[in-house]
Chain A
Amino acid sequence: AQSVAQPEDQVNVAEGNPLTVKCTYSVSGNPYLFWYVQYPNRGLQFLLKYITGDNLVKGSYGFEAEFNKSQTSFHLKKPSALVSDSALYFCAVSADDKIIFGKGTRLHILP
């Protein structure tokens, strides 16, 4: 069965510093991997996805994610954090038509 794990409930980063939000997955076959963001009182929004090809995927708002097949990871990154990046981030995996989400990581960017 497919699954996705986000090992950190919360990540705190100072504004201007690089950020990483971790995600690992378990799936049979080739995975499709996604990151979504949820701002307070708003619906989930798509950030980026990995389908195939280049292991470094670029997405919205300056975010990128690195696919690592050997480590079964898909960590979300940004070179320089903004206070406005503070939100709840979800990693998701799709491998058999069913899209499964991790429990989420709350990102706090400290001014």
Chain B
Amino acid sequence: DTGVSQNPRHKITKRGQNVTFRCDPISEHNRLYWYRQTLGQGPEFLTYFQNEAQLEKSRLLSDRFSAERPKGSFSTLEIQRTEQGDSAMYLCATTGPQTNEKLFFGSGTQLSVL
């Protein structure tokens, strides 16, 4: 058990609907990352936070994607007007303040857009 919790584990939605995922980090971790992983591929960086500040967002990420981390604790990732191409595993990972520290991953949220 890595201590990073993601909910829900699975989400099935119809195209055009909005979905929201939640990540609860290990309590002392102030850096939080969101990744997307499709079958047979590596995790693709989406965005990351240091405490409540969103420091970088992937240029590949459309405006339909938004993430928040109020109060520097849990984080949410919202996808508006979902498309079939959004179907993927969405991973959350957290770590301490230094960039040389290892990431602790959650089990992910598997999104299927029908």
Contacts and interface: CB of A to CB of B under 8 A. Distances in A.
Interface stretch (A13-21, A69-77, A79-87, A91-99): A91-99
Contacts of A103: 40-42
Interface residues of A, number: 23
B2 A43 contact: yes
B105 A94 contact: no
Contacts of A98: 45, 48, 56
Contacts of A110: none
A6 B40 CA distance: 13
Contacts of B42: 6, 90, 101-104
A51 B48 contact: no
Contacts of A96: 99
A44 B45 contact: no
A90 B100 contact: no
B43 A44 contact: yes
Contacts of B106: 43
Closest 4 CB pairs of A and B: A101-B42, A46-B102, A43-B105, A44-B105
Interface of B: 2, 33, 35, 40-45, 48, 50, 55-56, 91, 93, 99-100, 102-108
